[in-house]
Amino acid sequence: AQSVTQLDSQVPVFEEAPVELRCNYSSSVSVYLFWYVQYPNQGLQLLLKYLSGSTLVKGINGFEAEFNKSQTSFHLRKPSVHISDTAEYFCAVSDLNSGYSTLTFGKGTMLLVSP
């Protein structure tokens, strides 16, 4: 069954510093991968997705992620964070065995950006 592990529950970082949020997935078949962001008291918004093609995916708000099949990872990066990036970030996977019909989410990583 598909599953997602987000290795850090919380990542504190200073404004303008780079950040990497880690995501590993478990699936032996073809996958689609996603990162979502949740701001306080709101629903989730899609940041970026990998379906196929280039392994480096660019999303909104300056975020990007790299799909690494051999390491089964899909880490999210931003070269310089802002206070407004403070939010919870969720990695999600959908695989061929499920017919790509369901998304499985990780437990989330809280990004805390301080001045």
Q: Give contact residues for other proteins (rule: CB under 8 A).
A: 4, 6, 9, 32, 34, 41-46, 49, 51-52, 90, 94, 98-108
Minimum CB–partner distance for residue 17 and other proteins (Å): 26
Instruction: Kindly tell me which of 17 and 46 has the beta carbon lying closer to other proteins.
Output: 46
What 3-state DSSP class applies to 12?
A: strand
Minimum CB–partner distance for residue 60 and other proteins (Å): 11
Instruction: Yes or no: say if 105 and 64 are a contact pair by the CB < 8 Å rule.
Output: no
Instruction: Kindly tell me which of 80 and 102 has the beta carbon lying closer to other proteins.
Output: 102
Minimum CB–partner distance for residue 92 and other proteins (Å): 8
Instruction: Yes or no: say if 91 and 32 are a contact pair by the CB < 8 Å rule.
Output: no
Token digits for 65?
């992620």
- d(CA 82, CA 96) in angstroms, rounded, equals 36
